[in-house]
Amino acid sequence: MKILQVINALTTGGAQTVLADLCLHLKREGHNPCVAAFRDGPIGEKLRNNGIETIILGEEAFDFLAFSKLCNIIKQFQPHIIHSHLFRASFWARAAAKVTGISLLITSVHGPETESYHLTEKKMCRISSHLIFPSTFLAEWYKTNIRRIPDHRMSVIYPGTNVEDAVVQTHDTEKLRIGSLSRLHAVKGVDTLLHAIHELKKDIRDVNFELHVGGDGKERTLLEELSQKLGISEFVKFPGMISSVRSFLDSLDIFVAPSREEAFGINVCEAMERSLPVIASRVGGIKEIIREEIDGLLVNPCDAIELKEKLKLLISDKSLRQSLGEAARTRINECFSRKSFIDKHLGLYKQLYDREFKNIQIALSSSEIGGGETLCSAIAASLKKKGWRINIICGGEKTASLFKDSSEKIKERSLKAGGIFFAAGLISSVKANSSKIIYSHLNKASLFSSGTAFIHRLPVIAHVHGVNRSVYYKSCDRIISVSKAVSENLIQNGTDPKKIVMIPNAVPMAAFSPHYASAANCVFDMSVAAKDHSSATSEINFADVTDENNSVYSFDNAEIHNANQQAPEKWNIAIIAKLHKNKGHLWALEAIENGLISKSLPLLEIHIFGDGPENEALHKRFSNEPGKSLFKFHGFRKNIFFEFKKFHWVLLPSFSEGIPLSLLEAMNFGIPAIASDVGGIPEIIENSYNGFLVAPGNVNQLLSILKQALTKETWSKCSKNSIEQFKKVNDFDKLAESVKLQLENLLER
């Protein structure tokens, strides 16, 4: 993720410290953080030294020049998320997000501000996608004084502190050292602490102690003058800015945080982490950190007398100091570690990023169901399980039915009139659903997706299922080819090889090891397959498969036949493919018809599954004998697996192919294939091993192969080898994960 952090200044402070820790962790985790601030400071140097791009906006012309610079940074950096801190930075970050069209803006509210802040915040808070508060106190204050925010748009994340090694005392224990550490501002109540020390000196004259007030700010001079006025200047040290907070705290025996108000209290956490007993004001977020008299002591703000009494208690009781310090460190380690703060931020970033960017428009230019359509639906279901929002546009009711469980919104648009209605529907769907990427399947969908992506300035991925003209995919940002043959064809036709990623086709099924089909009417124990395949991406749960009458199909291991049985009297061959000219039904069926008429083939029956534009023509051509008896047209079957137990071979006489899913499905059931030697088929069918390859349209070769294949020995060998080959070539989990990574990579660009 690319995350732009915007803050007022990179000076030393609580907001700046947690920002630096967050950015350093983001970089270590492989993300790309960038920081923009109006003014530089020590934190800026730290960020740059660690390789984090840090840009200073400047403070001229009432911040208008800085605003213009911020807008340019956003346009160039193109962050996925803007995260703003403190009022001034949040005001301009919100304005810049509006101008540049950035939709994900997180605002961290670090504390109450001025009345002018209240008025402006009421107007602008809705621009922020999410608000982060450092304490429940501040969140409730915001709801009461600014605006009530829905729970899903806000989080309370305690800044906490880094948990280091155990404390090592670094000072002479004979002199008891009391300390505080904060910016020297009236709100921090250091004046109350000075008055308490004044009263303490009057009460305790025999204890050697001193006060160290760490930090700097506009109140420093006034506080130094107050210590002189109270006559305690010899006991009070003002060391200024502290370069090593840990070393400073390790030099103390007691820590005091006398704030008048506090959104959280990072300094309190830092002191408790160093095993210091802490006395702090009973205000704001401090009450969420310290449990009174368990891991610290609380006093009312501005009450110097109560503070004096608590100091006397700790000074006089060393064992109490030790027990409170140990409890304090445990409290921080368990509830207020900086690691937890960072982890929760990263979790929120991912959650918002996923909600905003893992929003995909799938375009499928088909009205019939075939291998490509089925694969598309399986990938969509897998992406949904991984948290993606899926929107579909397809060519008809049949294809739409594939996505009813995986898509939030489905549009059906006619592919007639050159696909103009489909294209218009795609453009409107992307806009209506605020999709961030388009994932297209089949030719027209890829062509229209490129145009839509140009209009909406989105990336587009095309999934190419077969050998096609590259013009359809020319403008796509990434092209997924299903086989080496498809990749080679795209490159030969002028497609940039850098755009192509080869992800072999696969089906979401487990291999049937050790069972395989080797005789007529064989069946399988599908529960074994379901048990073997535990992947979360598997879309086929064999235990839940039902037939056309919604009856659960039963399987029995005892029914599995073995290779010693005789060959069948009649061979059953299946063609599972869309009824399209490209699939080669006509030439193959005519060849088989002639072979049977001439009695050159053994007795067989062809079962044809599928639907498509050639349906009527094929029915008409083979409506008379002998074709009428030989060829059984079953139409499209949703659960074709119920038919597999009838088949000995599958036939696919296509003129072009990627990697046909129907062949993979059959291989999984131990059904070998006779298929055209085209496209990616040779990548899964090894000639004479788990099937046979035939030149498309070569009638004599097909008849010769059928004679060889339809024997007991050849069939049994190829049947067993089909299972083994399936194990080698089919990995749907890898396919689904590879597609997801390609989508994520494009979104990250």
Q: Provide the pLDDT for residue 544.
A: 39
Ordered DSSP codes for 10-77: -SSSHHHHHHHHHHHHHHHTT-EEEEEEEE--HHHHHHHHTT-EEEE----GGGHHHHHHHHHHHHHH
In the chain (749 residues long), the average pLDDT of successive 10-residue segments reads 95 89 94 96 94 94 92 94 95 95 93 81 92 95 92 94 72 81 94 95 84 93 95 93 91 96 93 96 95 95 96 94 95 93 94 90 91 91 92 93 90 92 95 93 93 91 88 91 92 92 88 39 34 35 41 35 58 94 95 89 93 94 91 86 85 93 90 94 95 96 95 93 93 94 89
Give the whole-angstrom CA distance, residue 276 versus residue 326. Answer: 8
Count of Cβ atoms closer than 10 Å to residue 721 Cβ: 19
Q: Do residues 732 and 537 touch, judged by C-beta distance below 8 A?
A: yes
Strands 2-9 and 81-85: parallel
Give the whole-angstrom CA distance, residue 510 versus residue 668. Answer: 8
Give the whole-angstrom CA distance, residue 264 versus residue 283. Answer: 9
In the CATH scheme, what architecture does the domain 526-730 have? 3-Layer(aba) Sandwich (3.40)
Tokens 């280091």, residue located: 164
List the alpha helices (DSSP H) in 472-520.
484-492
Neighbour-count burial for 605-641, b at 16+ CB within 10 Å, e otherwise? ebbbbbbbebbeebeebbeeeebeebbebeebbeebb
Tokens 């962790």, residue located: 25
Residue 508 token pair: 């979401």
Q: Do residues 138 and 109 touch, judged by C-beta distance below 8 A?
A: yes
Strands 32-39 and 2-9: parallel
Give the whole-angstrom CA distance, residue 709 versus residue 701. Answer: 12
Q: Provide the pLDDT for residue 559.
A: 36
* CB neighbour class for 712 (10 Å; exposed up to 12, middle 13-18, buried from 19): middle
List the alpha helices (DSSP H) in 216-303.
220-229, 245-250, 266-273, 286-289
Q: Which amino acid, residue 25?
A: H
User: What's the fold here for domain 359-502?
Assistant: Rossmann fold (3.40.50)
Q: Do residues 129 and 104 touch, judged by C-beta distance below 8 A?
A: yes
Q: Which of 441, 451, 440, 436 is nearest to 360 (CA)?
A: 436
Q: Which of 98, 310, 332, 44 is nearest to 193 (CA)?
A: 310
Give the whole-angstrom CA distance, residue 634 versus residue 648. Answer: 17
Q: In the chain, what is the greatest distance between 2 CA atoms, to the nearest angstrom? A: 123
Give the whole-angstrom CA distance, residue 510 versus residue 224. Answer: 77
Segments making up each domain of the chain, as ranges: 2-156, 176-335, 359-502, 526-730
Query: What's the full length of the chain, in residues?
Result: 749
Q: Do residues 264 and 290 touch, judged by C-beta distance below 8 A?
A: no
Q: Which amino acid, residue 574?
A: A
Q: Provide the pLDDT for residue 508.
A: 86
Q: Do residues 6 and 70 touch, judged by C-beta distance below 8 A?
A: yes
Give the whole-angstrom CA distance, residue 95 versus residue 74. Answer: 12
**CB-based contacts of 527, cutoff 8 Å, min separation 6:** 542, 543, 555
Q: Which amino acid, residue 737?
A: E
DSSP state of 109: -
Give the whole-angstrom CA distance, residue 630 versus residue 622. Answer: 9
Give the whole-angstrom CA distance, residue 466 versus residue 366. Answer: 14
Q: Which amino acid, residue 350?
A: K
Residue 446's H or E segment, with its range, is helix 443-456
Residue 186 token pair: 């009236």
Give the whole-angstrom CA distance, residue 704 versus residue 694. Answer: 10
Q: Give Cα separations from 195 to 11, 103, 183, 204 (angstroms).
A: 29, 51, 18, 14
Beta-sheet strands, E only, within 486-537: 500-502
Query: How would you write 289-342 as a 3-class SS string?
Result: HCCECCCEEEECCCCHHHHHHHHHHHHHCHHHHHHHHHHHHHHHHHHCEHHHHH
Give the whole-angstrom CA distance, residue 179 versus residue 193. Answer: 10
Q: Is 535 helix (H, G, I), strand (E, B) or coil?
A: coil
Residue 727 token pair: 């194990």
Tokens 């508060």, residue located: 133
Q: Do residues 382 and 406 touch, judged by C-beta distance below 8 A?
A: no
Question: So what CATH class is 2-156?
Answer: alpha beta
Count of Cβ atoms closer than 10 Å to residue 144 Cβ: 9
Q: Which amino acid, residue 397?
A: E
Q: Do residues 110 and 85 touch, judged by C-beta distance below 8 A?
A: yes
Count of Cβ atoms closer than 10 Å to residue 115 Cβ: 7
Strands 254-257 and 278-281: parallel
Start-to-end Cα distance in the chain? 9
Q: Which amino acid, residue 291?
A: R
Query: What Rg value do the Cα atoms of the chain yield, rounded?
Result: 36
Q: Provide the pLDDT for residue 173.
A: 63
Peptide bond into 626 cis (omega under 30): yes
CATH 3.40.50.2000 given to domain 176-335: yes
Phi, psi of 524 (to 5 degrees): -125, 155
Give the whole-angstrom CA distance, residue 154 versus residue 108. Answer: 10
Q: Which amino acid, residue 654?
A: S
Q: Which of 611, 609, 613, 638 is nearest to 404 (CA)?
A: 638
Give the whole-angstrom CA distance, residue 168 versus residue 651. Answer: 79
Q: Provide the pLDDT for residue 168.
A: 58
DSSP state of 567: P
Residue 257 token pair: 């945080």
Q: Is there a common fold for 359-502 and 526-730?
A: yes
Give the whole-angstrom CA distance, residue 276 versus residue 166. Answer: 11
Q: Do residues 637 and 616 touch, judged by C-beta distance below 8 A?
A: no
Q: Provide the pLDDT for residue 116.
A: 76
Residue 612 token pair: 């498509």
